[in-house]
Structure 1
Amino acid sequence: MSSDPWGRVDETGTVYVRTADGEKVVGSWQAGSPEEALAYFERKYEGLVVEIGLLEKRVKTTDLSSKDALAAIEHIREQVDAHHAVGDLDALKVRLDKLVELVEKRREERKAQRARQAEEARRAKEELVSEAEQLATSDQWRAAGERLRALVETWKSLPRLDRKSDDELWHRFSHARSQFSKRRKQHFAQLDAQREEARRIKERLVAEAEALSDSTDWGPTAARYRELMAEWKAAGRAQREHEEDLWNRFRGAQDIFFAARSAVFAERDAEQAENLKLKEELAEEAEKLLPITDLKAARAAFRAINERWETIGHVPRDARPKVEGRMHAVERAIQEAEEAEWRRTNPEARARAEGLTGQLQAAVDKLKGEIEQARAQGNTAKAEKLERELEGRQALLDQALKGLQEFGG
């Protein structure tokens, strides 16, 4: 009889293995010595050890499914339970039990992981649905449309939920997209209608603008062009393929009119500038008549100057008050001199002459005060105008004083 710590072979060639439950028959060996029999079944045991080791490694390091792992464990367990090997079979059972525990633990972990992933996927899809429903009411057509397309791609990358939940969320998601697409389609249909209406309006405006382009009724036509421009802006944009061409025609018609007007105005401005120069020369010539020493000669000279003045055309509007004011100042001085002469030669005028002299003196003093005030305020133009008027009043005062002296004589 031959034996080792885990098994033995009896006189009949029967091989036994020792277990916690006692000896178990492994098999019968008649082909050789008892040592060869034990060695053979020990190799069987080593094969089981290697197989269990490989299975433990697969469970720990690969994604072997729990179902396949348990089937493999059961297959090895059947071999261990069959006692066809010599070795520590109880230790193998303990390893298999621990491996079952590990597989169960991994199964629970994977189940929990799948539950977490499913919950994360649910939250992610709910967030996608929520954003899609918000975008469904947006008027930012390009940005919202691009974002919705990106949401679809994100949805495709997420794992499916249970059929009911996934279908419900997809229905909301798809409805939001459809709602946005419907609103966008309605918007652009309305926009197309508006642009077509704008095209019709602008065609009419272009036709009128082109009809007015050769008008020489400068003021009313320019005002009408301003009205047409306001109508153009209020009409909105036409279709892109029409807008630029219509604008070029509209603007071109205006350019023709305003270029013609500018040419006429430039010629008129040059003529009026020359007229202003001539009238300034006449005003200077008239001002040389002051102070008046010979009323009759001054009156005749001013009349001749004024006749030449009347033959000269318009001057620039902004220059008119100043140059005409210079002539009016000389004219007033002559009129006042005439009145003074009349009073001097009038037998009843002595008392009035004395009063007039006082009034003229007060007027001169007042003008001097106004001139000082204007210069203090920096209003040079007003000061110069008042000084010219002062010259006339001073001349009249001098004349009145002379007349009063004559009364006294």
Structure 2
Amino acid sequence: MTHQPQSDDQQTPDAEQATPAAAPQQTSPAQDAPEQVVQDQTPAAQADLADALGSIESVEAPAPSVEPTPLGEAAAFARVSEDGHVTLLDGADEVAVGQVPDATEQDALAYFVRKYDDVRAQMALFEQRIAAGAPSSELGKALGQMTAAVTERHMVGDMPALRTRLAALETLLGDYRAAEAERRQAAQAEQLATREAIVTEAEKFAATPAERMPWKQASARMTELFDEWKTAQKAGPRLSKSVEDGLWKRFRGARTQFDKTRRAHFSQLDARSAEAKQVKERLIARAEELSSSTDWGVTAGKYRDLMDEWKRAPRASRKEDDALWARFRAAQDVFFAARKAENAAVDREFGENLKVKEQILADGQKLLPFTDLKAGRKALNELRGRWEDAGKVPRGDIRRMEDGFRKLEDALKQAENEHWRRTDPETKARTNSALTQLEETIAGLEADLAEAQAAGDQKRIATAQEALDARLQWKQALEASASELR
């Protein structure tokens, strides 16, 4: 094709394209002459190749530079006519690559050698982009355009070497694509595992019964799982549409079930809370009615019954239940505070009575032990009269006082029982009869022992001696008891 002259401040498109790969020392007047007309057989594929690799280069490192092909070496692969026509010598093939009119043979040759070096530079850039991990789809397009440029051969240089290098790049891209596919499969497997884990955890929450669900933690975690899903979907590799849709359907279903269970659970809780509130409001009303009562004993019992009902009542929400309990407790406190104040006044009034009864108990201790039962009975009756006359004592001291006087009465009763046991005629007769029978038995055992000793029978001796010793101990105990009855 023929390029028309440009304005004085512009170079021709062909010269501008060749400049990056050309060495400074090879710049020729043909490059810089604004009136130069170049007839170039190179098609648009050459520009497309630069665009393809340029799109990769724009986001990565700059294109690598290559050493320019010496014109002396390049001359072996070309023939240049006097009118500037350049022919590529590619083995047995001769390919007309273009014409540079009004230029020296050397300048015409240099122009098409630069096109050869441009392709070499693009190949070096291609290798660099593979090392940098560029997408294989972009690299495939660039390789196709380099293949087209090499096939068309609108350049001058060692074309067999360029084809050999192009074949190596094809192999390199094939290996690169295989490795990329492996990485993609690994990333997809990882992405699938991540999504599966998210879905499985969500389904576990969805399947948990409402009464066993830790709702606060579970709700927060379900929100986190949704965020994790979006992050994985955005940042990770894409899964197949069927797999993606299947996982999303499960995840969405789990979230829907979780939300449905949560709404039903808290709706039920609200209903129970409302019912509990009504029940406890009624209990509070009854407690407030009783709070002004002065029938201390009966009312305290009623409050105990109310407390039992409160414990059996259903629970409202924590906040409402605490507020209801505070009101119920306040009503009780009014009653029990009034009772406490009344008891305190009574205790102050009965304090002097306590001192009198303390002295009565001290006087009673002086009568112990009771040896003269008649005098003891009389003295205790006098103490009981003084006790009744003393009146009531503070509530906290009632049991202690009653127990103290009861011990005096028990001591007298025990002394009377012991005296009766010793003086009872029937008891004496039974004791004497038992003693007579035991003496007869002892006499028989002594005779048996004597016979055994005479016979030298050690077994009979031991048996008779053991029986005799036991009866002698019983006799000693009966004689002691009989002596007490005299």
Question: Common fold, TM-score beyond 0.5?
Answer: yes
1:95 aligns to 2:179 (yes or no): no
Query: CA separation in 2, counterparts of 1:329 and 1:94?
Result: 129
Deviations 1:45-90 (A, max 9, x none): 2333333333433343352443x43333333333333333222122
Deviations 1:186-212 (A, max 9, x none): 111111111111111111111111111
Secondary structure, counterpart of 2:207 in structure 1 = coil
Deviations 1:295-314 (A, max 9, x none): 99998877655543332224
Query: Share of identical aligned residues, percent?
Result: 41
Preserved contact between residue 275 and residue 314 of structure 1 (Cα < 8 Å) = yes
Deviation at 1:132, TM superposition (A): 0.9
Which residue of 2 is the match for residue 108 of structure 1? 178
1:310 aligns to 2:407 (yes or no): no
Q: Return the match for 1:198 from 273, 276, 279.
A: 276
Distance 1:307 1:190, change over 3 A: same
Query: CA separation in 2, counterparts of 1:290 and 1:98?
Result: 126
Query: CA separation in 2, counterparts of 1:20 and 1:106?
Result: 32
Query: CA separation in 2, counterparts of 1:13 and 1:210?
Result: 120
Preserved contact between residue 287 and residue 330 of structure 1 (Cα < 8 Å) = no
Which residue of 2 is the match for residue 161 of structure 1? 239
1:238 aligns to 2:238 (yes or no): no
Which residue of 2 is the match for residue 152 of structure 1? 226
Preserved contact between residue 133 and residue 176 of structure 1 (Cα < 8 Å) = yes
TM-score by length of 1: 0.70
Q: Return the match for 1:281 from 340, 359, 362.
A: 359
1:266 aligns to 2:344 (yes or no): yes
Q: Return the match for 1:31 from 75, 78, 102.
A: 102
Distance 1:314 1:324, change over 3 A: farther
Deviation at 1:289, TM superposition (A): 7.3
Query: CA separation in 1, counterparts of 2:108 and 2:367?
Result: 160
- The letter for the 2-side match of 1:321 is D
Q: Return the match for 1:42 from 91, 95, 113.
A: 113
Secondary structure, counterpart of 2:390 in structure 1 = coil
Query: CA separation in 2, counterparts of 1:141 and 1:293?
Result: 79
Which residue of 2 is the match for residue 319 of structure 1? 401
- The letter for the 2-side match of 1:120 is E
TM-score by length of 2: 0.60
Secondary structure, counterpart of 1:18 in structure 2 = strand
Distance 1:108 1:207, change over 3 A: same
Query: CA separation in 1, counterparts of 2:284 and 2:341?
Result: 23
Query: CA separation in 2, counterparts of 1:76 and 1:140?
Result: 64
Deviation at 1:222, TM superposition (A): 1.8
Aligned residues: 347
Distance 1:78 1:192, change over 3 A: closer
Secondary structure, counterpart of 1:85 in structure 2 = coil
Which residue of 2 is the match for residue 141 of structure 1? 215
Structure 1: stretches of 5+ with no match in the other structure? 340-348, 359-403, 405-409
Distance 1:113 1:219, change over 3 A: same
- The letter for the 2-side match of 1:144 is A
Query: CA separation in 2, counterparts of 1:133 and 1:158?
Result: 18
Deviation at 1:173, TM superposition (A): 1.0
Preserved contact between residue 287 and residue 331 of structure 2 (Cα < 8 Å) = yes
Distance 1:311 1:336, change over 3 A: farther
What does residue range 168-187 of structure 1 map to in structure 2 within 5 Å?
168-187=246-265
Distance 1:257 1:5, change over 3 A: same
RMSD between aligned alpha carbons? 4.0
Q: Return the match for 1:8 from 79, 85, 88.
A: 79
Deviations 1:106-149 (A, max 9, x none): 22322232222222222221221111111113311111111111
Deviations 1:371-395 (A, max 9, x none): xxxxxxxxxxxxxxxxxxxxxxxxx
Farther-moved stretch of structure 1 (5-14 vs 41-50): 5-14
